[in-house]
Amino acid sequence: MFQVLVVGASVGGLATAAQLQRRGVTNFQVIEATNRSARASASRAVGLWTNAWQVLDALGIAAALRQASPWNTTEFWVQDLPTADLTAHACLRRFALPRGHEFRRVPLQALTDALAASLPAEHLHYGMDMEQWLRQRAAVSEPASTPEMDRGREKLGLWESPAFPPDLFLVGADGARSVVRHRLVGDDRPLRDAGYVAHTGVAQLPLPGCNAEDPGNALGSVELTKPGRVLLLLGRGDGTRLGVQRINEHQVFWFYCENCGAASNQPANKSKELRMLRGSETKQRAWERVSRSVARPHGVLWNALEQLFRETPAEAANTFACADLFPPVYDGTLGFDDVPVALVGDAAHPITPNLSQGAGLALEDGWMLANLLADAYIRNGNRDEQQAEQRQEHWSARVRRKYRQRRRWRASVLALRSRATGAVLQLPLPSSTLVTIRNRILLPLALQPHWFVSHANFSARG
């Protein structure tokens, strides 16, 4: 029999473990180097499309998350930020979510907590890295070291740790800058910088204007945070955009993207400073940029936006550089111990946030890999223990091959589509004519409802 070690309590890692548990495979452990409290981030709220909800339904945790984020998206509004007009006639593009689809914004902590709660506590270890786990699992009498094993441990930086167990299957779920991908699989490619950053935050509701006596101010707040609406406000060709989406009764998510580096003609030191913003600095930067974009300050939308940023706690605001990795890498082996490795989520395919599919792809990865592992476990579980080593090599190679074949194409297509979407939306447009072409020709073509949501087509059945 084999055992599964999941490195990283990320969405993909926890989904892998949760589906293994549901399939009756209990010989797994999840380790996370950071403490659980350190992983909580009030500024992170992930978009979950139909594909993600399919997996969450299959895992049995979707109902609780829908209660935490009760409003499914019913309409998308794309509008002009400088005009600052939230009326329907001013929309650049407006459409309803096609029937059968679902899109909600969910706090990342709520998602990971729900996944973790579905696992037995003894299978989940925070504050434990790979070396600590290996030491804990080590036999009293360790096998003699070999030059090949020594070279492998040097590569991993695990000189003093025991050898990997011979029946181990390793799942790398440790994020975009994955140590497992870099050191164990041997993929040392740097992430591709997309050339823009995203400032994100979660504001607390109600905004003060909703209860104010000023009817214009109240109208702006209500329209800005209307449940069931995704609002995207585009800059006038300056490589900026602002998005707003209601999470639940008490929270609203916002993001603001702006170009940095070569795309914005900023000096290198300024671009670096921009990428390092956190907390109140993120709020201040985003508000300064938004306020410059609005052509008519102190109007309805202006007041609502000002309240939105003001009611965002410092700890609920963050800035991150948008980046991706192409092509994705899904598997490999530890050459010195022949330990099979598979990668899930951002460890396999960091993706830009333009489609809101990072968490969805991670859930798909974890669900599919766990099913392949469970199938192999059931097939091999009752066979003769003789030739176990040969059988281990055979089933692990088959699992990794099937996993790679089933996931690589979808992840590649979505990564390229997200990259292209971001490139178009962030493209600096030096003339009003080009802005008009974008708004009247490109946007209607790109935002055909059924094409727009086609990336969310996925079936989590079987």
120: domain CATH number is 3.50.50.60
Tokens found for residue 252: 């609203």
pLDDT for residue 277 is more than 60: yes
Residue 204 is assigned to a structural domain of this protein:
no
pLDDT for residue 383 is more than 70: no
Percent over 70 (pLDDT), the chain: 81
- Domain count for the chain: 1
CA atoms within 13 A on the CB side of 41: 18
Residue 392 is assigned to a structural domain of this protein:
yes
Who has greater pLDDT, 397 or 8? 8
Residue 88 is assigned to a structural domain of this protein:
no
Mean of the per-residue pLDDT values for the chain?
84
Euclidean distance between CA atoms 280 and 271, whole angstroms: 18
* pLDDT at residue 373 in the model: 96
Residue type present at position 150: D
* pLDDT at residue 393 in the model: 56
Percent over 90 (pLDDT), the chain: 50
Label residue 175 left, alpha or beta by phi (over 0 means left) and psi (-120 to 50 means alpha). Answer: left
Residue 301 is assigned to a structural domain of this protein:
no
Backbone angles phi, psi at 239, to 5 degrees: 70, 35
Report residue 442's pLDDT band, with 50, 70 and 90 as the boundaries: confident
- Structural domain span for residue 46: 3-75+101-191+325-428
Tokens found for residue 204: 């607390």
Who has greater pLDDT, 132 or 111? 111
Start-to-end CA distance of the chain, whole Å, equals 24
Residue 141 is assigned to a structural domain of this protein:
yes
Strand-strand pairing, 229-234 and 240-246? antiparallel
Tokens found for residue 403: 């996993």
pLDDT for residue 388 is more than 60: no
* pLDDT at residue 332 in the model: 72
Give residues with Cβ within 8 angstroms of 448, minimum separation 6.
none
- For residues 293-300, average pLDDT: 67
Report residue 336's pLDDT band, with 50, 70 and 90 as the boundaries: very low
Report residue 139's pLDDT band, with 50, 70 and 90 as the boundaries: very low
* pLDDT at residue 80 in the model: 84
- For residues 275-292, average pLDDT: 85
Label residue 211 left, alpha or beta by phi (over 0 means left) and psi (-120 to 50 means alpha). Answer: alpha
Residue 53 is assigned to a structural domain of this protein:
yes
pLDDT for residue 359 is more than 90: yes
pLDDT for residue 141 is more than 50: no
Contact at 8 Å (CB) between 262 and 239? no
Report residue 305's pLDDT band, with 50, 70 and 90 as the boundaries: confident
Count of CB atoms within 10 A of residue 122's CB?
8
Cα separation values, 275 from 61, 83, 223, 264, Å: 35, 28, 31, 13
Q: Provide the 3-class DSSP secondary structure of residue 82.
A: coil
Report residue 311's pLDDT band, with 50, 70 and 90 as the boundaries: confident
Euclidean distance between CA atoms 58 and 118, whole angstroms: 12
* pLDDT at residue 440 in the model: 87
Report residue 159's pLDDT band, with 50, 70 and 90 as the boundaries: very low
Backbone angles phi, psi at 7, to 5 degrees: -100, 105
Peptide bond into 206 cis (omega under 30): yes
Who has greater pLDDT, 330 or 82? 330
Residue 90 is assigned to a structural domain of this protein:
no
The pLDDT tens digits for 55-80 are 999 999 999 999 999 999 999 999 88
The pLDDT tens digits for 346-355 are 999 999 999 9
* pLDDT at residue 416 in the model: 96
Closest of 462, 339, 327 to residue 407, by C-alpha: 327
* pLDDT at residue 75 in the model: 93
Count of CB atoms within 10 A of residue 456's CB?
24
Give residues with Cβ within 8 angstroms of 261, minimum separation 6.
193, 195, 268, 271
Residue 319 is assigned to a structural domain of this protein:
no
Backbone angles phi, psi at 253, to 5 degrees: -95, 140
The pLDDT tens digits for 208-244 are 655 544 544 555 677 788 899 999 999 888 889 999 9
Euclidean distance between CA atoms 367 and 14, whole angstroms: 10
